[in-house]
Amino acid sequence: MSFRQICLLLAALLALLPARAQAAGDWKLVKHQGRDHVTVANIANFYGFTSQTSSGNSFRLATGRTSLSGSVGSVEILINGIKFIMSYPAEQVNGQILISRMDLSKLIEPVLRPGRIQGGANSRTIILDAGHGGHDTGARGLWGNEKNFTLDVANRARDLLTRLGYQVKMTRSTDRFIPLHERAAFANRHPNALFISIHFNSSNNRDATGIETFTLAPRGVPSTWQDGPRVSDFQLCAGNARDAENMVLATAAHASMLRRLRMPDRGIKRARFVVIREIKIPGVLLEGGFVTHSTDSRRIASPAYRQEMAYSIVDAVKSYRTAVSGAATRPVAVQANADGTSETPTVILQSAN
C-alpha cells in the first residue's frame, strides 16, 4: 500500500456510493450455528461494490479505490489493505460465503460509512493516556521500559495537538502510578472528548513484532483471544454506547500508525481493557510495537520513532473528525484522476434526495 493510499484511507472509504445501496430491509439474514449472518454477495450489493471475485477460499469485493477481502475460516479481513480481526470467522455454507451480522454492524458498517454515525463526537478535546507509570513499569524492554516510552509519546502528541489548537488533557504527565479505573473516571469528566491510550507490547515470543490497535468488544462477542463469548461478555459496558465511533477511531489510528511507522500490521482487535470499557467517550488503545523484539525495541527507543507515533495520533484525530463530520452523512464520491493513479481525492457532496 502506498503512502498516499493509507493516508487517505478514510476519505477513500467514503467513496462507496450509497446511491446504489438499498434500504436496510434488503439485508437477508442467514442463520448458521445459531448466529445471524449475511452473505458476502449481500454486502457487495448493499454497499455498491461493483466487483466481486473469489478463488479457492478467498473473496474480494472492490469498487473504485475501496476493497474488502478475506477468506473462509479466517477472522481476518482487509479493508483497503488495513487488517481487521472480526469477532467470528467467515463461513461457507451451500456455496455462499457468510459474515456474522455482528461483524457487519459493528465493524464493516461504521468503517465503510462513518459519516452515518448519529451524533458522532466532533470534539477538539483529546485525552492522552500514557500507559503504566510509577511502580508499574509496564513491559520491560531490551532498551527501556514501556512506561517511559508511553509518556514520551503522549508528551510529544500533546505538544503537536496543542499547537493545532486542540485542548489536551493527560491522565498523567509525570512518572506516577494511576489505577486504571481512575484513568477512566478522569476521561469521563470530559463528556465531549476523544480518548487515546498509548502502550507498547511485550511477548515471550521474541519474534512477535508490529503494531496493533484495540477497540472495545461489542456486547455479547468474545475478545480477540477467546474462543467464544463468556457470560461476562454480555454485560453492557459504558463504552459500548460508542461502538461505532470506537471502530472509526481505531481505524483512523491504526491506518495512521501503519503509514507513519511502517511496521507489520497485526490488525485492529477487540478487547475489554478497563480504560476502553469504562469510558463514555470514543476511545482506543494503541500498541506501538514490541519492546521485546530486537528491531521493534531499537526503533521504539529512538526519539524519531516516538515522534512519528505522536504524529500518527494527530493524523488519527484529524481523520476521525473528518470521517464522522456531518458533511459525510450525505452520499459522497471521491474523484480520482482518469488514469486511476490520482491523488488528492475530492470529496463531492451530492444533493440529498
Binding site for Zn ion (CB under 5 A): 131, 138, 199
Strand blocks (E) in 110-186: 125-130, 167-170
* 170 strand-pairing partners: 128
Which grid cell is 181?
479505573
Q: Is 80 within 8 Å of 12 (Cβ atoms)?
A: yes
Measured from the CB atom, is 27 or 200 closer to Zn ion? 200
Measured from the CB atom, is 69 or 202 closer to Zn ion? 202
Measured from the CB atom, is 212 or 233 closer to Zn ion? 212
Measured from the CB atom, is 131 or 267 closer to Zn ion? 131
CB of 321 to Zn ion, least distance (A): 26
Which grid cell is 18?
450509497
Q: Pseudo-torsion of CA 199, 267, 347, 127, nearest 10°?
A: -20
CB of 195 to Zn ion, least distance (A): 15
CB of 203 to Zn ion, least distance (A): 12
CB of 214 to Zn ion, least distance (A): 11
Measured from the CB atom, is 148 or 256 closer to Zn ion? 148
CB of 303 to Zn ion, least distance (A): 20
Beta sheet of 265-271, edge-to-edge order: 51-55, 58-63, 66-71, 76-79, 82-85, 265-271, 211-216, 283-290, 194-201, 125-130, 167-170
Integer CA distances (angstroms), 166 to 75, 189, 194, 213, 323, in order: 37, 17, 11, 23, 18
Query: Which residue's beta carbon is nearest to the bound Zn ion?
Result: 199
